[in-house]
Amino acid sequence: MLSRAADGPDGPLTFIPGAYRERFLLPSDMVYLDGNSLGPLSHSARDAVADLASRQWGESLISSWNEHGWMEAPRRIGAKIAPLIGAQADEVVVCDSTSVNIFKLAAAALLARPGRTTVLSEPGNFPTDLYMIEGLKRLRPDLDLKLVPRDEIAAALDEDTALLLLTHVHYKTGEMFDMGVLTAATHKAGALTLWDLSHSVGAVPVSLNRTQADLAVGCGYKYLNGGPGAPAFLYVANRHQQGLTSPLSGWLGHESPFAFDDAYRPAEDIGRWRAGTPPMLSLAALEAGVGQFEGVDMQDLWDASQKLSQRFVERVTGQCAEVELISPSAPDARGCHVSFRFHSAYEVVQALIAEGIVGDFRAPDAMRFGFTPLYLSLEEVERAADRLVDILATGRWRQPEFAVRKGVT
Ligand SMILES: Cc1ncc(COP(=O)(O)O)c(C=O)c1O
Ligand SMILES: Nc1c(O)cccc1C(=O)C[C@H](N)C(=O)O
């Protein structure tokens, strides 16, 4: 396991939960346990977007592409994300969405493993990961998307496997794969790994280089606090950078975009994974969000998160027998969120939100809560747990308005 013996949920903490609370514009009466889905707005992100719009776009207009470093933003921000995932600065670039990046990297990996026809994953993986491979199957009818339960994955790797595609921290249960063990097994079978780090980056320590991971993607709007629809990132290990090429060969991935050649030649470096023009307003917010992690050790942050989630779990399960923890009970076997099963999970989550405790519901019967120590204190987490227990004990969730389905989340 990755956690240090002395610094588990019961040990001393280096990062004090809630230490950066003042950096964020969170409503004072809200306990926000949904930063694993949409991170909150920081003062610096708000200011960065305002500056980009009014000073850069407003005053410098098109010269901003050079003057304000717009053209280099995808590489520059990728380099800032790299230390959070154990990668080199030149192995990460910010572009497109997580879904699109999965498509690009999976397609490239399949081309790099000719004769192999299987993408291996698990049932219940985040849907977009599976849907993207289904889409690829329409272009490559010989392709097989094989889904096997997580404890059978290593045994299912064989000479047909081209790619292992897994979400490192499961979006619903928070269960974490052992990246090193599975990457080694995948390589032994001659295949490549593609890790979805959407629920890992900014949440748990990740060691892409140390585990020899080949490829990875991840979201910018969850723990990185990059704002709604923030661009995603992708990682390609240096040793693969010449051998893999994006199937979405847009002009900004060209070796020399402003030569305006008819023929596509991919950039020599990680820039080849870019397709079109960088969304600068969104990138300004993301860069500020990533900036919050400067000087923060991911192990320290995860230790703090384990303390928060464990306190929540113990307080809820210790006082309430009706809910079932569907996340691993060992804090170092999970990411930064936990989920409980309850027959009326939707109603309970609505009742909590009405009282300022924001978690989310995941169909069909899961209540999910994220623990992000940058802005959450132990006191808030205890308060949230007690409120959940009370809502269950009093049956307040049975009020008819909480059964009304609204929106999508
Ligand atoms: C594991 C995982 N992958 C991908 C995504 C989303 O991808 P996109 O940003 O393309 O919507 C999410 C959440 O939405 C996710 O939880
Ligand atoms: N990406 C989202 C969106 O555009 C709307 C609502 C929620 C989301 C999410 O991030 C869902 C999330 N990946 C999850 O883990 O459930």
Q: How far is the CA of 219 from the centre of ligand 1 (A)?
A: 6
How does residue 2 score in pLDDT terms, banded at 50, 70 and 90? very low
The annotation status of 98 as a binding-site residue, yes or no, is yes
Q: Please indicate whether residue 177 is annotated as part of the active site.
A: no
Average pLDDT of every residue of the chain: 96
What confidence tens digit (pLDDT) does each residue in 218-270 have?
Answer: 999 999 999 999 999 999 999 999 999 999 999 999 999 999 999 999 999 99
pTM score of the predicted model: 0.96
Ligand nearest to the CA of 166: 1
Q: Please indicate whether residue 221 is annotated as part of the active site.
A: yes
Kind of pairing, strands 161-167 and 118-121?
A: parallel
Q: How far is the CA of 348 from the centre of ligand 2 (A)?
A: 19
Q: Please indicate whether residue 137 is annotated as part of the active site.
A: no
CB 34 within 8 A of CB 358: yes
What confidence tens digit (pLDDT) does each residue in 125-180 have?
Answer: 999 999 999 999 999 999 999 999 999 999 999 999 999 999 999 999 999 999 99
What confidence tens digit (pLDDT) does each residue in 74-109 have?
Answer: 999 999 999 999 999 999 999 999 999 999 999 999
Q: Is 409 in the pocket of ligand 2 (CB under 6 A)?
A: yes
Q: How far is the CA of 208 from the centre of ligand 2 (A)?
A: 24
With the C-alpha atoms ordered 226, 229, 231, 237, is the resulting torsion angle positive or negative? positive
Ligand 2 atom index nearest CA of 36: 15
How does residue 407 score in pLDDT terms, banded at 50, 70 and 90? confident
What confidence tens digit (pLDDT) does each residue in 42-59 have?
Answer: 999 999 999 999 999 999
- Of residues 177, 204, 196, the one with CA closest to residue 86: 204
Q: Is 15 in the pocket of ligand 2 (CB under 6 A)?
A: no
In order of their start, the domains of the chain are: 5-41+297-396 (3.90.1150.10), 45-291 (3.40.640.10)
Ligand nearest to the CA of 97: 1
Q: What is the pLDDT, as a whole number, of residue 8?
A: 52
Task: Check 32, 221, 293, 375 and give the catalytic one.
Answer: 221
The annotation status of 264 as a binding-site residue, yes or no, is no
The annotation status of 199 as a binding-site residue, yes or no, is yes
For the chain, give the percent of residues with pLDDT over 90: 96
Please give all residues whose beta carbon lies within 6 A of any atom in ligand 1, as ranges. Answer: 97-99, 126, 128-129, 167, 171, 196, 198-199, 219, 232
The annotation status of 183 as a binding-site residue, yes or no, is no
CB 205 within 8 A of CB 192: no
Which protein residue has the closest C-alpha to ligand 2 atom 6?
409
What confidence tens digit (pLDDT) does each residue in 226-237 have?
Answer: 999 999 999 999
